[in-house]
Amino acid sequence: MGTMRVNDRTDERADGRVNDVVAHIEAERDRFLADLKEWLAIPSVSGDPARAGDVRRSAEWLAGNLRRRGWPTVEIWETPGHPAVYAEWPAEDPAAPAVVVYGHHDVQPVEPLEEWDTDPFTPVEKGDRLFGRGASDDKGQVFFHALGISASLAASGRKAPPVTVKLLVEGEEESGSVHFADLLRAHRERLACDAVVISDTTMWAADVPSMCTGMRGLAEAEVTLRGPSTDLHSGSFGGAVPNPLQAMAALLAGLHDADGRVTLPGFYDDVVPLTDEERALFARLPFDEEAWLKAAGDSRAAHGEKGYSTLERIWARPTAEINGIWGGHTGPGGKTIVPREAHAKLSFRLVAGQDPRKVQESFKAWVAENTPPGVEAEVRVGSGGVRPCFSPIDSAGVRAARRAMERAFGTEVLFTREGGSGPEADLADILDAPLIFVAVGLNDDRIHAPNEKVEIPLLLKGAEAAAYLWEELAAALR
């Protein structure tokens, strides 16, 4: 944290309200951390059936805490699995915009326990860091909103925020959000809003605050190619009948062209292209490709679609990946056969504008088209995949949130995206509202790993940004 510029607050201190926000947060710091530690001590591991009672206890703790903090409406929302918490703080003006804030109160398992330096459910402060499962993902990031809204009210002297804040904290994010879309549909009217703030991602670095503007979607498929009804002796038949493994190699090799572009017809048609501004902002991120390659399993070279940087490739360009292939003899020694079947599992990461179902259908048609005579192809696509989500950097909501972040951090806020996929698109689709990612986690917070931590100064910055966010959004979304 030595290089952080977050204390360089000269400009903001000229503004009295900033000082009130900061003063409130500083005054509340100890109570905020004490409360958060209480919450972190509840082992709300949603993936462990034995912890179901703890997940419920976590929801009840949050509901109780928010009630004590003065939220007018706090409810436990049941699902067929673990409960969510819903809390609402209406704006005074009934015509004010409404904003849903999304987070989750369940946490990842803690195994391997022996790799933790301290007990995962006994939160410990060490210097500027708070260690414990859920500190960053996602209890800490949910809870900064509780402090942010009180700082906002303290600074404004009002009894209600300038927008209606609807905090929705689910309890199944770490086990696949299996009931989340249904929960959204069931409460769609209560959750009606003008924007959804997601606080479950990361920033580029402690000294390079940033906002995520999108996550990739996902479409999966499994291909089976069938040749002879049984494995054949390659001496008797080899060279005169189609070999399904050879057909599979040819099929999958044809999925990319020489420029690393996916060859499915129309694959790029719906892609929302990167704007020049976004590419320029990505390029300003202090990206160390060598270090990234090292983190990428000591990958020896960057490789991908021609004409795009590594960050653009993983954040803003769709891909086709072969996740697994199998067929024929895979045991020890040789077996000279023409195998009967070949199998492959594939996944496509999708970006703004693309529809997983459409990609799956296009893949099916392409496989049928590219299977040689004498080979029978079957494509199974399973679920409908995950839709990509995307918030244009010039949208009103993103610009307002960026101003809030810049006021808190006192420096320019850059943009990132996430290469992975999550349930966030459901929020955008079902609530029909734009997403805004406001988060202060770091990539080295070791979420999903032993010794998860959060940087306390960043949590407080998150609270400060959240305090500014409501007035910025009130102005922007009206």
Residues 373-402 that bind its own copies (CB under 8 A): 373-376, 382
Find the part of the chain contacting its own copies (CB under 8 A) among 82-90, 119-127, 307-315, 398-406.
Answer: 307-315
> Judged by CB under 8 A, does residue 356 bind its own copies?
no
CB 364 within 8 A of CB 379: yes
> Judged by CB under 8 A, does residue 338 bind its own copies?
yes
Tell me whether residue 440 is exposed, middle or buried, using C-beta atoms within 10 angstroms of its C-beta: 0 to 12, 13 to 18, 19 or more. buried
Judged by CB, which is closer to its own copies: 273, or 324? Answer: 324
Find the part of the chain contacting its own copies (CB under 8 A) among 26-34, 171-179, 248-256, 403-411.
Answer: 248-256
- Binders of its own copies among 175-204, rule CB under 8 A? none
Using CB under 8 A, pick the residue from 336, 357, 365, 394 that binds its own copies: 336
> Judged by CB under 8 A, does residue 293 bind its own copies?
yes
And the tokens for 117? 């330096």
> Judged by CB under 8 A, does residue 364 bind its own copies?
no
And the tokens for 450? 């032993």
Q: Which of 323, 102, 356 is nearest to 216 (CA)?
A: 356
Our CA angle for 85, 90, 93, nearest 5°, is 165
H/E element, 183: helix 180-186
Smallest gap from Cβ 171 to its own copies, in A, equals: 23
> Judged by CB under 8 A, does residue 283 bind its own copies?
no
> Cis before residue 138, ω within 30 degrees of 0?
yes
> Judged by CB under 8 A, does residue 321 bind its own copies?
yes
- Cα separation, 180 vs 104, in Å, equals 11
Using CB under 8 A, pick the residue from 97, 228, 388, 441 that binds its own copies: 228
> Judged by CB under 8 A, does residue 224 bind its own copies?
no
Q: At what angle do helices 139-156 and 52-68 cross, to 10 degrees?
A: 10
Q: What is the largest CA-CA distance in the chain?
A: 88
Identify the residue whose tokens are 């997983």. Answer: 356
Q: Taking the CB of residue 227, how many other CB atoms lie within 10 A of it? A: 24
Q: At what angle do helices 139-156 and 16-40 cross, to 10 degrees?
A: 150
Smallest gap from Cβ 80 to its own copies, in A, equals: 21
And the tokens for 327? 């067929």
> Judged by CB under 8 A, does residue 418 bind its own copies?
yes
Q: How many residues bind its own copies (CB under 8 A)?
A: 82
Judged by CB, which is closer to its own copies: 71, or 348? Answer: 348
> Judged by CB under 8 A, does residue 296 bind its own copies?
yes
Judged by CB, which is closer to its own copies: 320, or 469? Answer: 320
> Judged by CB under 8 A, does residue 3 bind its own copies?
no
Using CB under 8 A, pick the residue from 21, 198, 337, 463 that binds its own copies: 337
> Judged by CB under 8 A, does residue 273 bind its own copies?
no
Using CB under 8 A, pick the residue from 123, 209, 242, 397 that binds its own copies: 242
> Judged by CB under 8 A, does residue 291 bind its own copies?
no
- Cα separation, 315 vs 119, in Å, equals 35
Q: Taking the CB of residue 13, how many other CB atoms lie within 10 A of it? A: 11
Using CB under 8 A, pick the residue from 16, 49, 127, 239 that binds its own copies: 239
Judged by CB, which is closer to its own copies: 127, or 333? Answer: 333
- Cα separation, 147 vs 31, in Å, equals 10
- Cα separation, 283 vs 269, in Å, equals 25
Task: Report the sign of the C-alpha dihedral through residues 69, 85, 462, 213, in that order.
Answer: negative
> Judged by CB under 8 A, does residue 419 bind its own copies?
yes
Judged by CB, which is closer to its own copies: 95, or 301? Answer: 301
> Cis before residue 112, ω within 30 degrees of 0?
yes
Find the part of the chain contacting its own copies (CB under 8 A) among 71-79, 123-131, 242-250, 263-271.
Answer: 242-250
Using CB under 8 A, pick the residue from 27, 34, 302, 365 that binds its own copies: 302
